[in-house]
Structure 1
């Protein structure tokens, strides 16, 4: 996650990676289609069992966190994005119903809230949803609790390279 949005060749990819609002709404606009969530897994675990994730959420080892893996799907069933969401469910109980909702994209559920989003970076990852191993544009950000100012969610999103061009500009190569 050591690139900037401007290092991507496509203006559409740059816009998506630089956007600090709900990614779901912007992705729907860019793709001109509604998106449906498919939750692949949603588990709770002690933060100590996943130290890097716990660090992103600033959790103590004995606090509970949720890990949700999901896809945002086009109406035809093609994945538009693959997402990993970490939630500080003990510290911020309002996150639990969001993460455990298998029907709605998280961005839709968070759209009318005032929780600040803090970008952590963007870059290239490997799109392994279809086992092609193609490079994919990705971004990571934290959502802070609006009252406490502490991390409530950490979201890692990668975008289908067949829909969102991951090509880097000549300057970034």
Structure 2
């Protein structure tokens, strides 16, 4: 779902560039990702670092993907396929998983600029099978936090939209 939205923002296709895929133990997973994925101590995990690029080579997102290896060979193949985004590879393999948002907020882009970040799991049988963290290029996805004062008419709309916004942010 994220990649088509990013393609719409840049008005064109995005290319996946996997910087590396390796098999690791759970202790090696980056902070936040291991806690969200919740692998067993004996699990082997696939760890993929990749970027989505415009056709001109501009980085649109930097992604870290971790998957519990050996659970579903189609998932393992999708994560290790360096030629396309993981979501596209999963769709091509007809893998259906439930997305659960773990975190949305701000992080730091490699150049030190604040950027938007989203972390989510893709669950199978009620348990995370993959965890994906996406950092978005702040020159493409604005990470600026804006505060707007409410007028007398706006509190009703804000109150109605509050739970929906909270639900989207917390994943509940």
What range is the shorter-chain TM-score in? 0.7 to 0.9
1:118 aligned onto 2:118:
no
1:76 aligns with 2:53: no
CA separation in 2, counterparts of 1:49 and 1:125?
A: 21
**Deviation for aligned residue 1:51:** 8.1
Q: Matches of 2:134 and 2:28 in 1, distance apart?
A: 22
| Structure 1 position 41 matched with structure 2 position 23 | no
What residue ranges of structure 2 are gaps of 5+ in the alignment? 149-172
**Partner-residue secondary structure (3-state), 1:24:** helix
Superposed, which structure 2 residues align to 1:95-134 within 5 Å? Answer: 95-111=75-91, 113-128=95-110, 132-134=111-113
Deviation track 1:55-87 (CA, whole Å, cap 9, x = no partner) reads 322211111001100000000000000000010
Report what 2:162 is aligned to. Answer: none
Q: CA deviation at 1:114?
A: 2.5
DSSP-derived class of the 1:124 partner: strand
Dislocated runs of 4+, deviation >6 Å: none
**TM-score between the two structures when normalised by the length of structure 2:** 0.78
